[in-house]
Structure 1
Amino acid sequence: MIIIDELNKDTEKNTFKIRTFIKRKVQDFKKKGVVVGVSGGIDSAVILTLAVQALGNENVYGLLLPEEESATISTELGARLCESLNVSYEKVPITPILQSLDIYGEKDRIIKKTCPEYDPDIHKTSLVLPALLNNDMLNIPSIRLVKDGEIIAENRLKAKDYLELIGIQNVKQRSRMLIQYLYAEKNNYIVCGTTNKTELILGQFVKYGDGGVDIEPLADCYKTQVYALADLLGVDREIIERPPSPDTWSHYTSDEDFYWRMPIQIMDQLLYSQEYALPIEMIEENTELSEEAIDKAKKHIDRVRSAANYSVSPPAICYLDK
């Protein structure tokens, strides 16, 4: 078995199922259409395209939600996509919301503790983890300082500072969802999410942020399958070839640098092999990894999946005796 071929064998059938799902759910909720947060990335591009095919462009609304640290190209690609599909859209910067909460100031103060040389006027920053398959380094996140495109420092974060930074960064995703529901409710639309199966399994989304939506059409599609959908749908090659990222750090940080810690093709094959309990020999042949490396990667995945239980769980309810 070739795992990648198995993942991508039903791409045309998947497009039909996703379009049908979107149309049916809009009808079930008795709404008129969908709002999509358009990030300039591949997931939202696929969702926007399928939503237009399912509902017509007049029933789809795109929102570009940049902030101070977003890459300029993200907005440009998102706008180009909306225009190519003849979708009405609006750019609503969330920077004022973040400034009112002093998100940038708090972030700068934490980074300054870790990197005393940090100057927000000249340095861009990103949060990274060591590549999982290439070394035996500990699972310790670091702040990377970049100046004029070159990495000039990479310092490890203390656990407390890391948690605070994550909390601060997550406000960005939650602010975006605030805006999406504002537009959805005033237009009698639903909010359509863009989280794929890889992200869902690994908890690679923010609770009540990009995870707080009405429908998740891609939640049963591994990231590798999303790329196949994008190819079939003719999505802009610049979007397809762009490294995926949450785009919440001033230095564009790919998901491979932090979330996956390995190429996405390897991650998806490992997740697929766990889902279908494939034998180790088949995994070795497909991934070209040693049994030791596969075991190490699976332990990492198990840790991440366990931590993700919080993100996917609904609110705990205290039931009273009747």
Structure 2
Amino acid sequence: MTRITDLTTAPTPRPFGPHVLELDLDAEVRRIAAWFLDVVGKRLRRRGVVVAMSGGIDSSVCAALAVRAFGPGRVLGLLLPERDSSSLSSQLGRRLADHLGIEAVCQDIAPTLEAIGCYQWRDDAIRSVVPEYGPGWKNKIVIAGGTAGVPNHFRLIAQDPAGSTRDIRLPAKAYLQIVAATNHKQRIRKTLEYFHADRLHYAVVGTPNRLEYDQGFFVKNGDGSADVKPIAHLYKTQVYALARHLGLPPEICDARPTTDTYSLPQGQDEFYFGLPYEQMDLALWARNHGVSATELARALGTSEERAADALRDIDNKRRTTAYLHARPVLCESIAELGEFGIA
């Protein structure tokens, strides 16, 4: 009797790397569009949606997905620049609105911010560490520490009118006041989003991707407030892939993510994440799926120590920003509202 040996072997698994973020883009677009229609139309009972469009990749993809779901006639885009906004943001927002065929309303929120003291509170805090700071100066905040294995801290970069810069570690009081003042920007924008949503009987779309949502990169009751958040489950790498799949303008698809909050150019990595989004996406995926620091280091082309620091920083940010996700705490729950999904 002849014995036949089965030489079939299981395929060798691919090493951990960017391929883990690959997505069936057609299926995802269909799924989100169907979800949009179900949630907004049936559960929220609203006629359409409002999207504040910064010209960035996340709000652009959200607007495009909304158009897929509702059609251009039931999507309103808002452009809400202020004194420190890049002119490119409004240009890209208008370009997107034209591309999608949706109505876009533009309102400069600088007068409102001026009236409530946003710029004054911020500048007073900056002058507490840079006394000469004044008209013509520019500024931004950058993060340091967490991905290098030491506690996160923040530094102020202030540039005088001649172009010379100061780089100063911010004491807690000044840092908190600067952030509190600039948070007015996101909260005023959200107020206007809900004004237009109320007058049109629309829902407000929140635009965080998974990295931002998971790591608390949003302002409570500002850009963190919304009725629906269609891409909060998607890594930013996947959002960029969706943008190209949806045929969004190249100047939007190719742009690097910025905060567009401070007067000096600022990437999201230097303000908050510490690493470029491509690396942060892989680190977050690794943390969510139990990938070791050794494997992550190989994928990032860095040391195992730096990879371990990045994983720890993810957990630290989750702990410190849990408050941003928290719902209001009631002294006693209202049982009668339970059937409506209200605690």
Identify if the C-alpha distance between structure 1 residues 266 and 276 changes in structure 2 by more than 3 Å, giving closer, same or farther: same
The answer to whether 1:275 aligns with 2:291 is no
The answer to whether 1:14 aligns with 2:28 is yes
Deviation at 1:87, TM superposition (A): 0.3
Give the structure 2 partner of residue 212 of structure 1.
225
What secondary structure does 1:61 align onto? strand
Structure 1 unmatched runs, 5+: none
Aligned mate of 1:114, from 104, 129, 135? 129
| Separation in structure 2 between the aligned mates of residue 252 and residue 24 of structure 1, nearest angstrom | 39
Whether the 8 Å CA contact 1:173–1:206 is kept in 2: the answer is yes
> What per-residue deviation string (whole Å, max 9, x for no partner) do you get for residues 172-212 of structure 1?
10110000000001001000110111001100011111111
What secondary structure does 1:166 align onto? helix
Give the structure 1 partner of residue 298 of structure 2.
285
Give the structure 1 partner of residue 142 of structure 2.
128
* Aligned residue identity for 1:201: D
* Aligned residue identity for 1:87: I
* Aligned residue identity for 2:302: L
Whether the 8 Å CA contact 1:131–1:262 is kept in 2: the answer is no
Whether the 8 Å CA contact 1:34–1:191 is kept in 2: the answer is yes
> What per-residue deviation string (whole Å, max 9, x for no partner) do you get for residues 2-57 of structure 1?
43212123222222211111121121212110000001100011011111111100
Give the structure 2 partner of residue 142 of structure 1.
155
| Separation in structure 2 between the aligned mates of residue 98 and residue 145 of structure 1, nearest angstrom | 21
The answer to whether 1:243 aligns with 2:243 is no
* Aligned residue identity for 2:47: K
Give TM-score, length-normalised by structure 2: 0.88
> What per-residue deviation string (whole Å, max 9, x for no partner) do you get for residues 272-295 of structure 1?
011111234432321222211111
Give the structure 2 partner of residue 257 of structure 1.
270
The answer to whether 1:165 aligns with 2:175 is no
Whether the 8 Å CA contact 1:123–1:146 is kept in 2: the answer is yes
Give TM-score, length-normalised by structure 1: 0.94
Identify if the C-alpha distance between structure 1 residues 266 and 321 changes in structure 2 by more than 3 Å, giving closer, same or farther: closer
| Separation in structure 2 between the aligned mates of residue 149 and residue 306 of structure 1, nearest angstrom | 41
| Separation in structure 2 between the aligned mates of residue 151 and residue 306 of structure 1, nearest angstrom | 37
Identify if the C-alpha distance between structure 1 residues 96 and 122 changes in structure 2 by more than 3 Å, giving closer, same or farther: closer
Aligned mate of 2:329, from 304, 316, 320? 316
After superposing on structure 2, the runs of 4+ consecutive aligned residues of structure 1 that deviate more than 6 Å are none
Give the structure 2 partner of residue 55 of structure 1.
70
| Separation in structure 2 between the aligned mates of residue 151 and residue 2 of structure 1, nearest angstrom | 43
Whether the 8 Å CA contact 2:72–2:102 is kept in 1: the answer is yes
Q: Which has the higher contact order (CA 8 A, sep 6+)?
A: 1
Deviation at 1:109, TM superposition (A): 1.1
The answer to whether 1:298 aligns with 2:311 is yes
Percentage of identical aligned residues: 34
| Separation in structure 2 between the aligned mates of residue 238 and residue 296 of structure 1, nearest angstrom | 34
The answer to whether 1:69 aligns with 2:81 is no
Q: How many residues of Structure 1 are paired with residues of Structure 2 in the alignment? A: 320
